[in-house]
Structure 1
Amino acid sequence: MHTAAPAAAPPPVRTPTAPRPRLAALDGLRFLAALFVVLYHYTAISDKHWRGQSPKDLFPHLHLVSAYGWMGVHLFFLISGFVICMSSWDRRLGDFFTSRVVRLYPAYWFAVLAIAAVLIISPVVRPAPTVHDILTNLTMLQEPIGARRVDGVFWTLWTEMKFYFLWALLLWKGLNYRSAIAFCLGWTVITLIAAETGSQLLTSAFATDYAPFFIAGIALYLTHRFKPTALLWGIVAVSYLLAQQTTYVNYTRRLKDLGYHVPEWPVIVLLTAFFGVMALLALGKLDWIRGAWLTTLGVTTYPLYLIHENIGWTLIYHLADRLPHAVLVGALIVLMVITAWLIHQTVEKPFAPLLRTALKSSFDELRTRTTASDSHPSGPQPGRRKLD
């Protein structure tokens, strides 16, 4: 007599842990990353804004720290992997697209026009952009078509957008715990293949120079949302080890921008600190950090990053001989933070809902018409206009 084999037990379903309070520490980290970049541009780089004077001489102690401020961008990318995974969980592709457009474009459009106006009025640190440059920059797609950036910091936006394009493919297929891990592993493999083959196509399309930061951020969010596992920690560890190579290459490049030498060892120390603090955040060890003031600083981060470079350099150029250098830099940072907050209040907050409503309506219409088309597979019915 044959008995039926017992049914295989279904695979365990991972469920999120209890909701955690808002990650105020994440807002603080984002602001610190932006501030680090600002200090780098104001007190480390040798450029026209200090009228030929070296920041190494102007800031004999501060430059030893701010010379590594370019690494703030690496922290941004690490945070971005965490935040994008968090904000897009249980959301549709259209919702993800809408959230990114609403988050990025209003402040960016304002920044492009404001920076262009400053450079046109006073082209002392950078040549004034052409009308063609300005119009192209409004798309945020100037990088791939070779148009000149209105501001140097805009290069990171295209890197972010490559991540969004790849992540959108995952959302289209279906985002869950397993697919997110597969995404991390697949992106890592492609990064290695691109390095081995020297493929410029893969390197560019998959942003392989900065992929380890995004990948680690995703794995850390999965750790935060579900629970730590050896696989997730393995992804973070491999990403860290690959990231240190990318960071070292950037260090050698930044020495040319600085115009003077700084030691290499702080690079690995800072990189380790970035991964370490994000790991603590993922494990809930920083949940005790609270405060509405951190959220306020967090909302200023993106506008601050966008507007600080060329506008700040122009102001430094005109005021460098009138104020003590330390006072000028301190006052300028405060001014930029306040300006960033005003941009959030007067540009992002009023225009974001309008843009979100318009895009939501567009996607609702797209879904409605797609459903209507699917109901007539043989084509438009007599007397009915084709929907596509």
Structure 2
Amino acid sequence: MTSTIARPAPDATRRQDSAKPRRETRLRALDGLRLVAALMVAAYHYGGRGGAVTEAWGSSPKVQFPTLHAFFSYGCLGVQIFFVISGFVICMSGWGRPLRSFFASRASRLLPAYWAAVLLVTAVFALPVVAYEAVSPSDALVNLTMLQQPLGVDRVLGVCWTLWAEIRFYALFALCVVLPGANRRRVILFCALWMLAAAIAQGVDEPLLDLVLMPQYAPFFVGGIGLYLVHRDRRDAYAWGIVGVSWLIGQHYVVRELWRAPSPDAFSNRTSLGIVLVVTLGFVAVAAIALGWLNRLNWRWLTVAGALTYPFYLVHEHLGWVVIHALHRGLGLASAETFVLTVVSMLLLAWLLHRCVEKPLTPRLRAALSRTR
């Protein structure tokens, strides 16, 4: 909604807020930003940290990428950018929808590719030629529920902890906004109360409140919701206030979690300024999309990029290690070539999952869950 559109009368505004959602033109730039965030996370997993990936390369990624490893280490912040995008998209998709439709949309979007990724990674890790240990059959079955985190079960997919955060966000938004009916006032109240409750939860250090309210992630989801309100009306001072407070608190949590005092023994030394800069760029990028500044980026291939992002995100970490091991240690390819080919191979696998799993199963699952008995 641009500033040149006249505001309707207050009564009309209230009717519009609770009415069916307006038709949104597809924000293809948001699809592109999703893929950028996923590639950031992939760079972090392949070359921005030590641990399990060291076994894939045969030595620390710090040795493989003497200069780039320090930049790759900031790639983990792609997760926070994902959360901002998620807040924007969930508010947009939940506006004016009944609870059944919202649930069907989210479940059909997440589950088919997730199930396929869990089964695929489990099968690959069970192969004798693969050096990584697979989870037990029982744990693999529990992973299909997406509830392995609270149940304390070994994860098949390393990235699934972010899905657990997403699920809790969906539940809060569904109960507080979608169920009673989304409108501007209710969304603003939800954002304000969630941020306040999250701050209180952080202060009292109560595990149950932390689990439900997610103080360290709430600012990013709320910031995305605020940016969607900006997308609806760029003159909305409350929306801008939500975005500003979310950025201020969000950068604090990320700096607290990721910054460490410089040490020659550390894998990399992230600076607090660098962390704040990446978080800020994430907010600015979504804000630019919300304000329509990137509407010219309307290329169709960006829609494809957005469709590949989720399956790529699911499979890239663990299966990427297998590919790195095969290319770098098996075939002797250079580090740079291995890195690029691994990313390309994971994108191709994501395309196969999208074509063979998501396209046929997503609409069927959505229809089944939307059907009224």
TM-score of the pair, normalised by structure 1: 0.86
- In the alignment, which residue of structure 1 is the partner of 2:361? 351
Displacement after TM superposition at 1:10 (Å): 5.5
Aligned to 1:110: 116
- Counterpart selection for 2:105 from 99, 106, 116: 99
Shift of 1:77: 0.3
Distance in 1 between residues matched to 2:132 and 2:186, nearest whole Å: 45
* 2:68 aligned partner: 62
Code of the aligned partner of 1:237: G
Give the match's secondary structure for 1:173.
coil
Alignment of 1:37-186 (within 5 A): 37-46=41-50, 47=52, 48-122=54-128, 126-169=132-175, 170-186=177-193
Cα deviation, residue 326, structure 1 = 0.7
Distance 1:23 1:10 in 2: 29
Aligned residue in 1 for 2:223: 216
Q: Tell me how far apart the structure 2 counterparts of residues 123 and 194 of structure 1 sit (CA, whole Å).
A: 47
Confirm or deny: 8 A CA contact 2:307 2:354 kept in the other structure: yes
One-letter amino acid of the structure 2 residue matched with residue 196 of structure 1: G
Corresponding position of 2:319: 311
> Alpha-carbon deviation of 1:317?
2.0
CA separation in 2, counterparts of 1:336 and 1:291?
22
- Partner SS for 1:32: helix
The 3-state SS of whatever aligns with 2:59 is coil
Larger radius of gyration: 1
Contact 1:24 1:290 in 2 (8 A): yes
d(CA) in 2 for partners of 1:224 and 1:122?
Answer: 52
Give the aligned residue type for 1:233.
W
5+ residue gaps, structure 2, are: 1-8
Task: Return closer, same or farther for 1:176/1:101 CA change in 2, 3 Å cut-off.
Answer: same
Q: Deviations over 1:22-75 (max 9, x none)?
A: 211000000000011011111122234345512122112221221111000000
- Aligned-partner Cα distance in 2 for 1:303–1:122: 25
> Do 2:328 and 2:334's aligned partners in 1 also have CA atoms closer than 8 Å?
yes
Which residue pairs with 2:13 in the alignment? 13
Query: After superposition, what is the alpha-carbon deviation per residue over 1:134-180, rounded to whole angstroms, capped at 9, x for unaligned?
Result: 10000111111111101211111100000011011021122111100
Q: CA deviation at 1:246?
A: 1.2
Question: Secondary structure at the residue paired with 2:179?
Answer: helix
Equivalent runs, 1:287-302 vs 2, <5 Å: 287-302=295-310
> Match of 2:348?
338
Please, which moves more after superposition, 118-127 or 170-179? 118-127
Task: Tell me which residue corresponds to 1:248.
Answer: 255
Instruction: Among all aligned residue pairs of Structure 1 and Structure 2, give the percentage whose two residues are the same amino acid.
Output: 44
Structure 1 stretch displaced more, 351-360 or 87-96: 351-360
Give the counterpart of 2:282 among 270, 274, 290: 274
Structure 2 equivalent of residue 329 of structure 1: 339
Instruction: Please report the RMSD computed on the Cα atoms of aligned residues, expressed in angstroms.
Output: 2.2
Distance in 1 between the 2:12 and 2:364 partners?
42
Alignment-derived partner of residue 239 in structure 2: 232
Mark the CA change 1:255 to 1:325 in structure 2 (over 3 Å): closer, same or farther: farther
8 Å CA contact 1:102–1:355 kept in 2: the answer is yes
Q: 1:255 to 1:180 in 2, by over 3 A?
A: farther
User: How far did residue 126 of structure 1 move?
Assistant: 3.6
Change (3 A) 1:144 1:106: same
| Amino acid across the alignment from 1:308 | H
In 2, Cα distance between equivalents of 1:73 and 1:245: 15
- Which whole-Å CA distance do the structure 2 matches of 1:153 and 1:123 have between them? 23
1:118, distance to aligned residue in structure 2 (A) = 1.1
Equivalent of residue 39 in structure 2, options 35, 49, 53: 35
The 2-side partners of 1:128 and 1:24 are apart by: 38
**Alignment length (residue pairs):** 354
- The residue identity in structure 1 corresponding to 2:26 is R
* Contact kept? 2:56, 2:322, Cα under 8 Å: no
Partner SS, residue 139 of structure 1: coil
Bigger shift: residues 20-29 or 337-346: 20-29
TM-score by length of 2: 0.90
Residue 339 of structure 1, CA deviation = 0.9
